[in-house]
Amino acid sequence: MICTHCQRDIADYSNFCYFCGARQYRAADGPPRAQKRLMRSSVDRKIGGVCGGFAEYLEVDSTIVRLIWLVAVFVPLPLGLIAYIIAWIVMPQAPLPSPVATAPAATPQTPQSV
């Protein structure tokens, strides 16, 4: 798929352009978009991956989500802490991303001393 804003090639299921961030709209006859699920992040995690999962789902920076959780924890009622623990228990863990296959680097051979 080609970005409508910067004309760069991006994945067919993308909601936003990787390069310019412009929203992508799918044509009626195009391929279906990938289904988004709320899952704990397995990559962007500090404690349980809850904030990283919310950030991936909402497509915002995880730092913003972490700051909101931090403010919610220090509100007079401990609702933020309780909500974090419940989300940690309820949200499933996202699978690890598949590694990208790269060619092994050539290692220089050193002469062995006797």
Provide DSSP, 91-113. SPBPPPPPPPP-PPPPPPP-PPP
Which residues sit opposite 23 in a β-bridge?
16
Task: Look at residue 75 and give its three-state secondary structure.
Answer: coil
Number of alpha helices (DSSP H) and beta strands (DSSP E) in the chain: 3, 0
72 and 44: one domain? Answer: yes
89 and 43: one domain? Answer: yes
- Across all residues in the chain, what is the average pLDDT? 78
With tokens 């067919």, the residue in question is 12
- The band of 111, judged by pLDDT with boundaries at 50, 70 and 90, is low
22 and 42: one domain? Answer: no
Structure tokens at 45: 């995690």
22 compared with 54, residue with greater pLDDT: 54
With tokens 């391929």, the residue in question is 31
The answer to whether the predicted template modeling score (pTM) of the entire model surpasses 0.85 is no
- The band of 34, judged by pLDDT with boundaries at 50, 70 and 90, is low
Residue 101 has a pLDDT of: 60
5 and 50: one domain? Answer: no
112 found inside a domain? no
Domain residue limits at 88: 36-94
Q: Is the pLDDT of residue 31 over 60?
A: no
Q: Is the pLDDT of residue 71 over 80?
A: yes
Count: domains in the chain: 2
Which residues sit opposite 40 in a β-bridge?
93
113 found inside a domain? no
41 and 74: one domain? Answer: yes
With tokens 């933020």, the residue in question is 80
70 found inside a domain? yes
Structure tokens at 39: 């899952």
- The band of 30, judged by pLDDT with boundaries at 50, 70 and 90, is low
